A and B are shown apart, each in its own frame.
Chain A
């Protein structure tokens, strides 16, 4: 299986360990991820400012993948949502496709509506499959309790994702965690948003949203949070100390990207998965394995 990997803006600059581990794990599982250097912004941050621009930015990326005859595999959930939405709209709405093609033509590009988009974790869940994931596990992580944060755009709006997982009772991440042998921790605020999208508008509210979840996950006794979106990682990782300092609380809750968890279970060294490069260094966690 071969797909174009869409890194987005945040991953290749701020979450290198997510990219590194995803590519490493994909290789082991027979998923070839191809870089397309010309990819630009997915369009998501502009959608609320100028709809047409967001759609054209997304369509340009779809066109770049189509030129190479590849579907797109995403690492960021926000990129997933806008690229999926636009790819579906352009397939379903011929008038919109025509208008978009006219604009793309001005850039010397064309698009015929063939590209499909899937989040990396959804590819693992649906295409590689849980069974193959389980089979790849050589070092079950039964010493770990891991709380999954689904975030928003991996699941919702559910109609653009064919409801592959239930938006109110999601299971895919917990099942993928369980496949590694780790205990999937259940907690009350599991479905809640990280607040990342409004960090620049109302920092206090955004950090309060992240804080509520950090509290809940800590109280549930998890060793780490499982993340699949770089912006959620900014909230729970990069901002963890700031959130704690505001209330005299010292969280020590490592964030792990799912491919890092899976990679560890597959027996890949933590150096190759970039674990010590994560925003919260998972020292205690790694001590548990060795």
Chain B
């Protein structure tokens, strides 16, 4: 034990053997246990080609090992570009981009929302869409002969209230990452 610490080898102390079942219960995470670690996902992943921090095979292995805290608090789960290349090629139909979404959904509930995604979610709650369509934008649209778009869309914020996302965003969610 002492020598391991001296060599700065990371020692995994907290494992949650039930984590994989938790992920499998989450929408999109259902097939995680089918993974047999072939690495087809990572070998064809464009993000992994440029950023070694993102390694879908490894992330799934970590989930199966039960490294709950490390996975949920890591910014690497937010690096999936959802291009679905791995999804098309996975021989076990693990549905990797959906597994990443499941992990991110759990992470959000645990207070680990990525700031970029929090910002997006808040913009959408406010404007009903990702960008504000202000008067200037509508003037331009009218000049081009395109229809005006109403500013704001209150039903979107209502949806956040119905599903509980509004509470998650205003409560403890976020801030940890």
CB pair A16–B144 under 8 Å, yes or no, is yes
Contact of A152 among B82, B108, B146 (CB under 8 A): B82
CB distance A12 to B87 under 8 Å? Answer: no
Q: Shortest beta-carbon distance, B62 to chain A, in Å?
A: 18
Q: Are A50 and B168 in contact (CB under 8 A)?
A: yes
- 8 Å CB contact of B88 from A13, A49, A168: A168
Q: Does A201 contact B (CB under 8 A)?
A: yes
A37 to B133, alpha carbons, bound, how many Å?
Answer: 12
Please give me the 3 A-B residue pairs with the lowest Cβ-Cβ distance, nearest first.
A200-B116, A156-B84, A193-B83
**16 A/B residue pairs, CB under 8 Å, sorted by A:** A10-B130, A10-B131, A12-B149, A14-B131, A37-B150, A38-B153, A46-B124, A46-B165, A152-B81, A153-B82, A167-B84, A197-B83, A198-B47, A200-B120, A201-B79, A202-B51
Which residues, 12 to 53 on B, are CB-close (under 8 Å) to A?
26-28, 46-47, 50-51
Nearest CB of A to B35, in Å? 17
Residue of A nearest to B131 (CB): A13
Rounded to whole angstroms, the CA-CA distance of A204 and B75 in the bound complex is: 15
Chain A residues contacting B51 (CB-CB under 8 Å) are 202, 204-205
B135 lies within 8 A of chain A by Cβ? no
Q: A50-B105, A56-B162, A103-B163 are in contact. Are A156 and B83 (CB under 8 A)?
A: yes
Q: Which of A1-24 contact B (CB under 8 A)?
A: 7-10, 12-14, 16, 19-20, 23
Taking A53-B160, A168-B88 as given, write out 14 further A-B residue pairs in contact, using a Cβ cutoff of 8 Å, ordered by the A residue number.
A9-B130, A20-B144, A20-B146, A37-B148, A40-B128, A41-B156, A49-B108, A52-B165, A60-B159, A107-B162, A153-B82, A193-B85, A197-B82, A204-B51
The reply to whether A106 and B84 form a contact with Cβ atoms under 8 Å apart is no
A38 near B150 with CB under 8 A, answer: yes
Cα of A177 to Cα of B119 in the assembled complex, Å: 38
Q: Once the chains are docked, how many angstroms separate the CA of A195 from the CA of B141? A: 28
| Given known contacts A41-B128, A200-B120, A201-B114, A107 and B108 CB-to-CB distance under 8 angstroms | no
Closest to A103 in B: B162
Which A35-78 residues have a C-beta within 8 angstroms of B?
A: 35, 37-38, 40-41, 45-53, 56-57, 60
CB-CB < 8 A to A35: which residues of B? 147
Contact A156 B88 (CB under 8 A): yes
CB contacts (< 8 Å) of A274 on chain B: these are 144
A45 touches B124 (CB 8 A): yes
Residues in A with CB closer than 8 Å to B155 are: 38, 40, 60, 107
A216 adjacent to chain B (CB < 8 Å)? no
Residue of B nearest to A14 (CB): B131
In the complex, whether A191 has a CB less than 8 A from a CB of chain B is: yes
**Please, which residues of chain A bring their CB within 8 A of the CB of B78?**
48, 198, 201
Q: Give the tally of cross-chain contacts (CB within 8 A).
A: 172
Q: Which residues of B contact A28 (CB under 8 A)?
A: none
How many A residues face the partner with a CB closer than 8 A? 54
In the complex, whether B71 has a CB less than 8 A from a CB of chain A is: no
CB within 8 Å of A: which B69-94 residues:
75, 78-85, 87-88
CB distance from B95 to the nearest CB of A (A): 8
Task: Name the contact of A56 in the complex, choosing from B124, B131, B159 (C-beta under 8 A).
Answer: B159
Could you say which of B81, B105, B108, B156 contacts A198, with CB atoms under 8 Å apart?
B81
- Determine the chain B residues whose CB is within 8 A of the CB of A193 once the complex forms: 46, 81, 83, 85
Q: Are B47 and A49 in contact (CB under 8 A)?
A: no
Residues of chain B within 8 A (CB-CB) of A23 are 146
Q: Which chain B residues lie closer than 8 Å to A37 at the CB level? A: 147-150
Q: How far is the CB of B33 from chain A (nearest CB, A)?
A: 19
A98 on interface, CB distance cutoff 8 Å: no
Contact B121 A45 (CB under 8 A): yes
CB neighbours of A107 from chain B (8 A): 155, 158-159, 162
Give the residues in chain A near B162, CB-CB below 8 Å. Answer: 56, 103, 106-107
Closest to A85 in B: B98
Which residues of A, 139-187, contact B by the 8 Å Cβ criterion?
A: 152-153, 156-158, 167-168
Which residues of B (126-177) have their CB < 8 Å from a CB of A?
128-131, 133, 137, 140-141, 144-150, 153, 155-156, 158-160, 162-165, 168
A94 within 8 A of B: no
Residues of B within 8 A of A198 (CB): 47, 78-81
Closest to A198 in B: B81
Residues of A within 8 A of B114 (CB): 201
